[in-house]
A and B are shown apart, each in its own frame.
Chain A
Amino acid sequence: MTLPQPSTLIDNMVADINQQFPVLDDSIVMVGIHTGGAWIANQLFSKLNLSTELGLLDISFYRDDFSQNGLHPKVKSSELPDIEGKTIILVDDVIMSGRTIRAAMNELFDYGRPKKIVLASLIDVGHRELPIQADIVGQTIDCPTDQRIKLTGPEPLTLTTVTLNK
């Protein structure tokens, strides 16, 4: 599988965001999900020249697999600006089942009641398990079920495929 350059996809996403949000004022807050989503959000944030502070979300305390896997050993702190009444552009690297996004939305609502949340993902590999869709996608890639697409970074950002052990 040939994988695209993340920088090209980020440029596509910037164009998409600019089209959907002609005015990027202080009602818009960008939030990246640790770790990969935060890297993408960082780049989008500087390219879009957003006036609000960039938010970072660690969803470890909200995961639905805690009872199977326990607590993540390297939990980072979530750092969010005021999101009450804001439009949030939630950013992740790869969307698959949709469970990360569900957890992220649950966490966001514990910080306040946003006016709207849109989802931006660098890659969409399908295989959704929840009714969640991305509004802004860098590229949709058809990924076999025994493979995962992984983003490494932050410098340089690279996409690789990993085959799961059966």
Chain B
Amino acid sequence: MNPLDPSQIQLNEDGRLKHFLTTEGLSKEILTEILDTADSFIGTQSRSVKTVPLLRGKTVVNLFFENSTRTRSTFELAAKRLSANILNLDIARSATSKGETLMDTLWNLESMYSDMFIVRHADSGAAHFIAQHVTPNVAVINAGDGRHAHPTQAMLDMLTIRREKGGFENLTVAIVGDILHSRVARSQIYALNTLGAEEVRVIGPNTLLPSEIESLGAKAYNNMEQGLKGVDVIIMLRLQKERMQNALLPSESEFYRLYGLSTDKLALAKPDAIVMHPGPINRGVEIESAVADGPQSVILKQVSNGIPMRMAVMAMAMGGQQSGQAPDNEQRKEEV
């Protein structure tokens, strides 16, 4: 086992999840278990009492070195619905800006007996670094690191696809737009290929397609009309203007003309194709309002699925920190 390989550090000695840093290298069984568990949590979300007692007494720290509203609040809500105590730390505006190193921040938080860190950081590999150095029995969940990975977003998208399409076999999925800056796209490509999607396409201008993209198992298209032909799922990405330092784009209107999802372009996909977007959406830049709000859009379902997905990953990782052995259903039933 290579401790530097993020897919290895994520599993305990029994092969169960103990950190969730990336979808890369995780087996189809683990990804399916995450989806199944999230599915079960969906049922608890429509009850009058939405909390379950799984993480009662645990302390979860939202460690956000980079701004985020949606992801942070869904993690917060997920932790609360698991009965955990949650501490929100807006590190971007506090300790780090005063010069504290990442390790010092970490040691301070560990001294408060935290059980789980939810980490968002602008640098690729930050969550992995923390997972390597954290005290045993503390779980780390990656809530987005640089351009590297955003595994909970990718998995809530997989949950949405599976619930809408029933599975992944025979599905052609197109991911459109700013692939270069997108940690979501990378996590999605790994997950889709592992879960058995027939074809994964990425569509965008060459300046926004990473050169190694085809080696990840995605077919690259510069022409959106060609790329959308016959697809079952269209995932639009946000143009990450804040990360664009060079002249990667001629203009937003030019981008919209070539790569914006309009009603006309949507008609090239299968008639029952679904339209997804991780949000926040830029109407008129990546997507036409009529499409974003239209009958094929599942954008708000993605938001709803974010909470049960994060509950699933947090519960599994916390459980994987504690479990001595992989329990099998019947044996555990007998122990009770």
Whether B326 lies near A77 (C-beta < 8 A) is: no
| Residues B43 and A69 in contact, CB atoms below 8 Å apart | no
Which stretch from B31-39, B149-157, B177-185, B236-244 is at the chain A interface? B31-39
A78 to B40 CA separation, bound complex (whole angstroms): 7
Cβ of B54 within 8 Å of any chain A Cβ, yes or no, is yes
Is B292 an interface residue when CB atoms closer than 8 A count as contact? no
Question: B316 at the A/B interface (Cβ < 8 Å)?
Answer: yes
Within 8 A of A (CB), among B35-87: 36-37, 39-44, 47-49, 51-54
A30 to B49: give the CA distance in the assembly, Å: 21
Are B40 and A75 within 8 A (Cβ)?
yes
Segment from A2-10, A19-27, A43-51, A105-113 that makes contact with B: A105-113
B115 to chain A, nearest CB (A): 10
Of listed A60, A71, A99, residue having the most chain B CB within 10 A: A71
B322 touches A67 (CB 8 A): yes
B133 on interface, CB distance cutoff 8 Å: no
Residue ID in chain A nearest B329 by CB atoms? A74
Pick from B39, B47, B315, B329: contact of A71, CB under 8 Å: B315
Is the C-beta of A65 less than 8 angstroms from some C-beta in chain B? yes
Known: A62-B53, A77-B42. A71 touches B316 (CB 8 A): yes
Please tell me if the beta carbons of B323 and A75 are within 8 angstroms of each other in the complex: no
Residues A110 and B47 in contact in the complex (CB < 8 Å), given A70-B327, A72-B332:
yes
Q: Which residues of B contact A61 (CB under 8 A)?
A: 40-41, 44, 52-54, 315
Which residues of B sit under 8 angstroms from A65, Cβ to Cβ? 332, 335-336
Known: A36-B333, A60-B40, A62-B53. A73 touches B47 (CB 8 A): no
Check if B319 is an interface residue, CB within 8 A of chain A: yes
Interface majority SS (helix, strand, loop, mixed), chain B:
helix
CA–CA, A77 to B323, complex, Å? 22
B54 to A97, Cβ gap below 8 A?
Answer: no
Q: A66-B54, A66-B319, A69-B319 are in contact. Are A75 and B336 (CB under 8 A)?
A: no
Complex CA gap A61/B41 in Å reads: 9
Within the complex, what minimum Cβ distance (angstroms) separates A68 from chain B?
A: 7
CA distance A63 to B323 in the complex (A): 14
The reply to whether the CB of B330 lies closer than 8 angstroms to some CB of chain A is yes
Q: Across the interface, do B336 and A77 meet the contact criterion of CB distance under 8 Å?
A: no
- Picked from A70, A96, A106, A109, the residue with its CB within 8 Å of the CB of B319 is A70
* Contact between A68 and B322, CB atoms less than 8 A apart: yes
Q: Do residues B40 and A79 form an inter-chain contact, with CB atoms below 8 A?
A: no
* Cβ–Cβ < 8 Å partners of B53 in chain A: 61-62, 106
Residue A115, interface by CB 8 Å: no
Q: Which of B42, B44, B323, B330 contacts A70 (CB 8 A)?
A: B323
Q: Are B52 and A150 in contact (CB under 8 A)?
A: no
Whether the Cβ atoms of B320 and A73 lie closer than 8 Å is no
Q: Which chain B residue lies CB-closest to A67?
A: B322
Contacting residues, chain B, for A150 (C-beta < 8 A): 330, 334
7 cross-chain pairs, A with B, having the tightest CB-CB distances, nearest first: A70-B319, A70-B323, A61-B52, A71-B319, A110-B49, A77-B43, A148-B334
With contacts A61-B44, A77-B39 known, what are 12 further pairs, Cβ within 8 A?
Answer: A35-B333, A65-B335, A69-B325, A70-B318, A70-B319, A73-B16, A73-B329, A74-B36, A109-B49, A110-B44, A111-B48, A162-B334
Residues of A bordering B, CB below 8 Å: 35-36, 58, 60-63, 65-79, 96-97, 99-100, 106-107, 109-112, 148, 150, 162, 164
